[in-house]
Chain A
């Protein structure tokens, strides 16, 4: 497929981008509101075209561990789920991070806690960027705000994952996953050849040739001194991501008296609220996070110096706001506005919150 204009759901965009970006495998388990990812893959039958393997696993624990096994052979392997399923994957994610296995995981968030609701939410921020599993680790976390970005970020994810040997998380939500929008497809990227796999993942386990020692994929190190050295190596990697791989978008921030910080579907609502405020003569800007880890701390702190207040909009009880306050060292008035349980705030509510919590 070349560059074409299409209309599709966010979840379908994820599936089609996996095929188009040369993914080797997908392992998943059904859960609302992301089931269309695997349904699309199964309907497309990529094993007959690109050779991509698609398998429905017996649980999210199995699917994330299938990702571990497949990705540790140096192949591009992905899974997707929604919040309760992602909770089940936390063990696998910390093992993947600990064994430094590049892979792609997509979370189409729904409301919690527990079984919660099947409607959109953004209450998995802490789980995503503060280490949902045990141990000190980070997932490179991308937050798409459109169906186009759902598609594009799959392509970007492979580059980051293999560059840093680290799992990449696309943190979306039920609104982006379920809504239909137009998108431009990209040229297909062929799956790696055997030679490319070996060149891109010399650490991987595909069968030891006589020319190299056996490769071992593990996160176990019983010698504390060596485990500390390994942890320091991981931290260095995360620091490099913070230095080089931060992504964000600023709209109308140059002359803004106030800014809204948001990501994903909340940023789309905030954009409308910003326009409504501008029409009323209030100079509002939008700082949209694209990477949640690494967090654009320096860039946000720069903008924060010039404004009178920050409103954080997130469909949660206020998780992202903690990183905003850390970035700005609480140097400016910062408040949270959010709705819960699958309720999506309206632009009018966001504007009202801005006026009542920040401007007043």
Chain B
């Protein structure tokens, strides 16, 4: 639907007596998103865009999109954007920020991009303490290419390339990259959030806000992992996928702050992986 059609339809509805109770943030464009209904990307995009809007930094922000489901994030955010080669977003962001220290720079990456092919760029950007924000959407799967095993795929979890479930002896362990980078001195703020409930959305937004505010402090890298379902890839309804995520992803990827103000949060065990957690059956 063209923008003029949207405007006309909106006017019609208002004339019919409807009240407008929801407004899209101006930092998102009117381009129709290609994400599957129920996926966490749309919500996460909106949260990032709202933070940029509320901080008044739209004219100073440069985003970097990955290869994966969010490859075309540049069409949805109304800020200057670069599309990176697979896994290389932190390298791009490093140079953008160093050459333009007054800009706000963020990467927006998935688990395959950030934690498999781009592991080196991720770890070294974090370890250098680049003064950027990294948004990491973890859905345990390669969504864009059709649901193959990701570095974050759970043990026992089925995917297109682990049709009988991920086996440790064959595929190794899921990689908790967020805990890993939290141990690096260059990271200043590391947190894991989710967007499957209104309460989770509010917490996730606060975390993203904190991550962007930290760029003003110039103290290092802020890293926000967002757990998301991939209902298409997991072959579930969105509601069932969110339930499965809570039951299975969250015990392995516990939600909450891991490192705040450059210090690991007390009682967070960054080395333990809940490998003994029984996986509920994926249909």
Which residues of A are at the interface with B, using a C-beta cutoff of 8 A? 24-25, 27, 53, 55, 57-59, 61-63, 65-70, 72-73, 75, 77, 91-92, 95, 99, 205-210, 214-220
Q: How many Å from the CB of B28 to the closest CB on chain A?
A: 11
In the bound complex, do residue B58 and residue A208 qualify as a contact, i.e. CB atoms below 8 Å apart?
A: yes
Instruction: Pick from B59, B75, B80, B88: contact of A210, CB below 8 A.
Output: B59
Known: A205-B62, A214-B78. A73 touches B83 (CB 8 A): no
- Known contacts A58-B124, A68-B92; 10 further A-B pairs (Cβ under 8 A): A25-B99, A53-B99, A57-B91, A68-B95, A69-B84, A73-B62, A206-B103, A207-B59, A214-B77, A215-B81
Q: A66–B89 Cα gap in the complex (Å)?
A: 9
In the bound complex, do residue B120 and residue A62 qualify as a contact, i.e. CB atoms below 8 Å apart?
A: yes
Q: In chain B, what residue has the closest Cβ to A99?
A: B83
Q: A99–B83 Cα gap in the complex (Å)?
A: 9
Known: A58-B120, A70-B98. A205 touches B80 (CB 8 A): yes
> A99 — which chain B residues lie within 8 A by C-beta?
83
Q: A55–B93 Cα gap in the complex (Å)?
A: 13
Q: In chain B, what residue has the closest Cβ to A213?
A: B78
> B82 — which chain A residues lie within 8 A by C-beta?
68-69, 72, 205, 216-218
In the bound complex, do residue B80 and residue A208 qualify as a contact, i.e. CB atoms below 8 Å apart?
A: yes
Q: A62–B87 Cα gap in the complex (Å)?
A: 10
In the bound complex, do residue B100 and residue A73 qualify as a contact, i.e. CB atoms below 8 Å apart?
A: yes
CB contacts under 8 Å to A, within B119-137, are 120-121, 124
Query: What are 30 pairs between A and B in contact, CB < 8 Å?
Result: A24-B99, A25-B95, A53-B95, A55-B98, A57-B91, A61-B120, A62-B88, A62-B91, A62-B120, A62-B121, A65-B92, A65-B95, A68-B91, A69-B94, A70-B99, A73-B96, A73-B100, A77-B95, A206-B80, A207-B62, A207-B80, A207-B103, A208-B78, A209-B59, A214-B29, A214-B78, A214-B80, A215-B80, A217-B82, A218-B82
In the bound complex, do residue B81 and residue A69 qualify as a contact, i.e. CB atoms below 8 Å apart?
A: no
Q: How many Å from the CB of A227 to the closest CB on chain B?
A: 14
B85 interface hit (Cβ, 8 Å): yes
B71 interface hit (Cβ, 8 Å): yes
In the bound complex, do residue B120 and residue A68 qualify as a contact, i.e. CB atoms below 8 Å apart?
A: no
Q: How many Å from the CB of B136 to the closest CB on chain A?
A: 18
> B77 — which chain A residues lie within 8 A by C-beta?
214
In the bound complex, do residue B121 and residue A65 qualify as a contact, i.e. CB atoms below 8 Å apart?
A: yes
Q: How many Å from the CB of A105 to the closest CB on chain B?
A: 14
B79 interface hit (Cβ, 8 Å): yes
Q: In chain A, what residue has the closest Cβ to B34?
A: A222
Known: A57-B91, A65-B85, A92-B85. A206 touches B121 (CB 8 A): no
Q: Which 9 A-B pairs have the closest CB atoms?
A: A69-B92, A70-B95, A205-B80, A218-B83, A65-B91, A69-B95, A65-B88, A66-B95, A58-B124
B142 interface hit (Cβ, 8 Å): no
Q: How many Å from the CB of B56 to the closest CB on chain A?
A: 12
Q: A268–B92 Cα gap in the complex (Å)?
A: 39
In the bound complex, do residue A53 and residue B98 qualify as a contact, i.e. CB atoms below 8 Å apart?
A: yes
Q: A75–B92 Cα gap in the complex (Å)?
A: 13
Known: A25-B95, A69-B91. A216 touches B62 (CB 8 A): no
> B72 — which chain A residues lie within 8 A by C-beta?
220
Q: A57–B58 Cα gap in the complex (Å)?
A: 29
Known: A61-B91, A66-B94, A69-B92. A206 touches B100 (CB 8 A): yes
> B74 — which chain A residues lie within 8 A by C-beta?
214, 216, 218
In the bound complex, do residue B124 and residue A62 qualify as a contact, i.e. CB atoms below 8 Å apart?
A: yes
Q: A57–B79 Cα gap in the complex (Å)?
A: 27
Q: A210–B59 Cα gap in the complex (Å)?
A: 7
Known: A58-B124, A220-B72. A67 touches B60 (CB 8 A): no
Q: How many Å from the CB of A97 to the closest CB on chain B?
A: 12
Instruction: Pick from A57, A59, A73, A216: contact of B99, CB below 8 A.
Output: A73
> B96 — which chain A residues lie within 8 A by C-beta?
69-70, 72-73, 205
